[in-house]
Structure 1
Amino acid sequence: MVLNNVMIPGNDAVVSISISEGKIKQVSPSHTDDREQLTFVNAIAFPGLINSHDHLDFNLFPQLGNKTYESYTEWGKHIHRAYAVEIASVLKIPIALRERWGVYKNLLCGVTTVVNHGEKTTINDPLITIFDNCQSIHSVRFEKNWKKRLNNPLKINKPAVIHIGEGTNDIAHTEIDELIKWNILKRKLIGIHGVAMDPQQAKHFEALVWCPESNYFLLNKTAAIDELKSKTTILFGTDSTLTGHWDIWHHIRLARKTQMLNDDELYNSLTSSPAQTWKLNSGSITSGFDADIVIAKAKGKVGLQAFYNITPNDILLVMHKGVILLFDESLYHQLTGIITQNYSKVFTGNHFKYVMGDIPGLIAEIKRYKPDACFPIPHPALPAA
């Protein structure tokens, strides 16, 4: 397949992307062979986004919390008291259904890889990549056996991924030192949040996953990424809808407003940097890389400005390892005879999208357990979140 007439951020020249056997074969100024082709107008192409922190099974929750907290421990204790009924109503939905919705939440936004924090998912056919070649440790305060798990010699070759420094008080800062001290086997550490982290501490981490919207919602503060970025690699994450908007582009624009990463750095935190950290063959539209590609309307802009203007409504196509998982209704006639799988038709604001799988069926199953569950895809039969 060839994707014709697209621009890649950072290179405003129009190119064609040739795809074969799930990988990018060639990126060239033009392509004229007789293989299956899709032609776009005023569109940009970029690597499928890599969401380096989510809890897939927690994306049917609304945001829970009604004040500014000093730490994740204070927030956790408060929501289990104040929102016990709401939490129970979501947790009674089977985890497999919650995880599958978590995948769609990401896919609808152009995410093709998610690093899920927690136990291995139950999904056999996840559509996108659910990265789990790491060891998830919840946190220093909420996991009793974290020291033992961190120093498990059988896990030494995998990075340890842990919530750390998620707070504004002294305890949040000193727990980072505690983690560093007890990393006896010198495991590769990938921290999540790091709001209380200082540059000296950051040097001990292979990477830090920045989740600014979650941080502002809980703590009204985020990590000093502008100070930490010279000491460790910065990756981008959303966390779940417990603490953030369902749409990753909402998070991205909030991060951009902080100006703690420049436009190139923020773009890289969603593409090439996590691909290198997690050792993925993706994150770049380059020959030989996996064909994880998103194409979206350029809205009259070029380069990274067009990238930062994107909403789910603007996405024209999402491809994962050469397989089209989502396409806009405007491409329907070009794809006639090419697409053979089953797709659901959903509405994302002003356009219908065709998404692989049975989303209405999934929603109907979820509503058997929680009739008032809301979803961010307007439809006559579905309440919007």
Structure 2
Amino acid sequence: MTESIQQYSFTLYGARYVKGPWESIAATIQIRAGSIADISQTLCHGPISRNDIDLDGFLLMPGLINAHDHLAFALFPKLGNPPYRNYIEWGEDIHRQFSECIAKHKSIPKDVRVLWGGIRNLLCGVTTVSHHDAFSPVMLTKGFPVKVVQTNGWAHSPALGGNLHAARKATRPGGTFVLHACEGIDDLAYEELWKLDRVGLLDAETVLVHGLAIDAIGVELMRQRATSLIVCPSSNNFLFERLPDISLLAKIEKIALGSDSPLTAEGDLLDELHFIMRYCGVAPHAAYRMVTETSSEILRLESGTGRIKIDGPGDLVAIRDTGQDIAARLPQLSHRDIELVIINGSVQLASEALIDRLPHSLKQCMEPLWVDGSTRWLRAPVGMLLEQAEKVLGIGQVKLGGKSIHIPV
């Protein structure tokens, strides 16, 4: 169903690149065998080989890391009649009130839904995503639109996760154990942190998702246990009409950001970044690190992931260069600004402005998709995937993370 990623050697010239939230410099970047082989401030002003890409007028940033998503729900609408007290109440309600909608969307083949989940992330500049659910084989293929973290173990939550010790034991060496916890505003949500600690599952190997009910004493406990946290504030706001207190939670040593699924979230990861900056008071430079370096550290990703560095992975995103640094751009950045995405040295997305700058060898087998007002060329079988989804939902009725999509004529 998906094509294997082909890795080429090529040079990106003419662009500035992001060294940090407030630092960007002009450089020539060489990609070899899927990694960044060299970064040179000795600029070249033309192609050295036939595969090189002219990025004059663009800013290169590291691929974003989505620390929490449910890839199989990318085509679902937002569901619920909030406010709720906890995640169990929400789950029971939507299966009672929206059972027909859920069954209809689930009748789309799961591989198709999961691939749309990958595309939803790719469109907003995500190159690595942490999927919270059982793996589908298609996620492990080299042609999947983005990289999916494979080393981490998971359980749904303390209440719905089954045998948590068995799930923790199944976590691969070097990985982390990820689970929803404290997702709500009642005593059940509050007590989950302390229950996890009592059974020995709160430590440096554990990563909690949401943490809405964690108070100051809970934050201190997490600091003592060196436990990390991933927040998804727009989901919390929708379900519980409550925002996480980021000024409190930021005292935890490591805190990252996830988009969660369209069932509850505002939109994609860039939308979530806007939300946390606007409504939770997170500064742009801190928000940037939550989707790059800090996410990489929490998820224990390959060295260099979340940064642009020699020997790091060739995961890069190009946006128009306005002369500003990325921290200044972040509050306005949307999927419409993502003009080029390279993952492991393969061009996975290109805008109409950049598709013509790509050498033929780097843009073979890419297909166009219209998304909410803009067209992007993707290394994915979007025609077939849309056809499969429309067989169930109807022609013109498919939305990807709430955004309208179609194949341009």
Establish whether TM, by shorter chain, passes 0.5: yes
With structure 1 as the length reference, what TM-score do the two structures score?
0.92
Cα gap change, 1:238/1:185 in structure 2, threshold over 3 Å: closer, same or farther? closer
Number of residues paired by the alignment? 381
**What is the distance in 2 between the residues matched to 1:102 and 1:139?**
22
The answer to whether the 8 A contact 1:298-1:306 is kept is no
Closer, same or farther: CA 70–106 of 1 in aligned 2, 3 Å: same
CA drift at 1:93: 1.6
Normalised to the residue count of structure 2, the TM-score between the two structures is 0.86
Distance 1:313 1:154 in 2: 37
How far apart, CA to CA, are the structure 1 residues paired with 2:407 and 2:111?
Answer: 26
Distance in 1, Cα, partners of 2:59 & 2:125:
13
Percentage of pairs with the same residue: 26
1:378–1:30 CA distance, 2 compared to 1 (3 A): farther
The match for 1:359 among 369, 372, 382 is: 382
Report the Cα offset of residue 157 of structure 1. Answer: 5.3
Cα displacement string for residues 184-222 of structure 1 (whole angstroms, at most 9, x for unaligned residues): 695711000000113123223531011111111111123
**Aligned AA (1:208):** L
Mapping 1:10-159, distance limit 5 Å:
10-32=22-44, 34-35=48-49, 36-123=51-138, 124=141, 125-150=143-168, 152=169, 158-159=175-176
The 8 Å contact of residues 272 and 283 in structure 1, kept in 2 or not, is answered as yes
> Does residue 278 in structure 1 map to residue 299 in structure 2?
yes
Alignment of 1:303-318 (within 5 A): 303-318=326-341
Aligned position for 1:325: 348
CA distance in 2, matches of 1:283, 1:192: 20
Alpha-carbon offset, residue 12 of structure 1: 3.5
Partners of 1:235 and 1:171 in 2: how far apart?
A: 24
Q: Deviations over 1:90-111 (max 9, x none)?
A: 1122211111110011011111
Deviations along 1:161-196, one digit per CA (max 9) or x if unpaired, are 100000111221111100111126957110000001
Counterparts of 2:129 and 2:391, CA distance in 1: 27
Match 1:2 to one of 1, 4, 11: 11
Give 1:261's aligned residue: 282
Partner of 2:196: 179
Answer whether contact 2:256 2:295 (CA < 8 A) is retained: yes
- Residue 363 of structure 1 deviates from its aligned partner by 0.9
Counterpart in the other structure of 2:5? none
Structure 2: runs of 5 or more not aligned: 1-9
Give the direction of change, closer, same or farther, for the CA distance of 1:19–1:158 in structure 2 (3 Å limit): closer
Q: Which runs of 5+ in 1 are unaligned?
A: none
Partners of 1:30 and 1:330 in 2: how far apart?
Answer: 26
The alignment status of 1:302 with 2:325, answered yes or no, reads yes
Helix, strand or coil: the match of 2:406? coil
Q: Which moved more, 1:336-345 or 1:279-288?
A: 336-345
Once residues 208 and 184 of structure 1 are traced to their aligned partners in structure 2, the CA distance between those partners, rounded to angstroms, is 14
User: In 2, Cα distance between the equivalents of 1:368 and 1:104?
Assistant: 19
Distance in 2 (alpha carbons) for counterparts of 1:225 and 1:142: 26
CA pair 184-142 structure 1, distance change in 2 beyond 3 A: closer
What one-letter code is carried by the residue in structure 1 that aligns with 2:134?
E
**Contact 1:202 1:228 survives alignment (8 Å):** no
Give the distance between the partners of 2:385 and 2:245, measured in 1 at CA: 40
